[in-house]
A and B are shown apart, each in its own frame.
Chain A
Amino acid sequence: DAGVIQSPRHEVTEMGQEVTLRCKPISGHDYLFWYRQTMMRGLELLIYFNNNVPIDDSGMPEDRFSAKMPNASFSTLKIQPSEPRDSAVYFCASTLRGGQGFTDTQYFGPGTRLTVL
């Protein structure tokens, strides 16, 4: 299994530009999570989906952030317009609830390091 795939791995952009981060979850997983990691705030859950439907977006910082999951194998996190304070590492994770073992284990992608100048 290829694991959770994220792209790009690194993104450098200028303030005001639109940024789109992409994620491909592990095949067959029914939950997908977007996290943000910063030195100041640690790991924060931004939003999660179940069967492609957004369930809880209470962690999304503000309206500049949006996330979609058009199908079971693809999700995007978009920031428009981007600001320097959005600089962070963004992780995508997926899990299969109720699968064999039922450990609710979340499998993380390698992350996208975003720098907004």
Chain B
Amino acid sequence: EVQLLESGGVLLQPGGSLRLSCAASGFTFSSYAMTWVRQAPGKGLEWLSTISGSGGSTYYADTVEGRFTISRDNSKNTLYLQINTLRLDDTAVYYCAKDRVPGIAAVRLDNWGQGTLVTVSS
């Protein structure tokens, strides 16, 4: 059974940084592209970033490029999202999700974690 477990959500002040983690199990992690999606309170879903299975290719939404960094450690079956210079509008539930098909980063997200809440407040 595929399991994705996010962690790292916290209450932080604007300008701070944090790293979210997503621990994966139940599938060959290194074969699948992985994605981060967030959802602000009461709002819709926002794609943030995708990383290939090897980690060699990364993709970002224009709105977060330069401030967010996606990475993965295939030896630990873990996905990361580094967020710098936090802003109030980064407040959201952050989900990690797995691509449906191995080998390509197509962003067909067939398994999702339960999400981790990041709150940015002064």
- Asked if A and B bind, the verdict is no
Instruction: Give me the interface of B with A, judged by CB distance under 8 Å.
Output: none
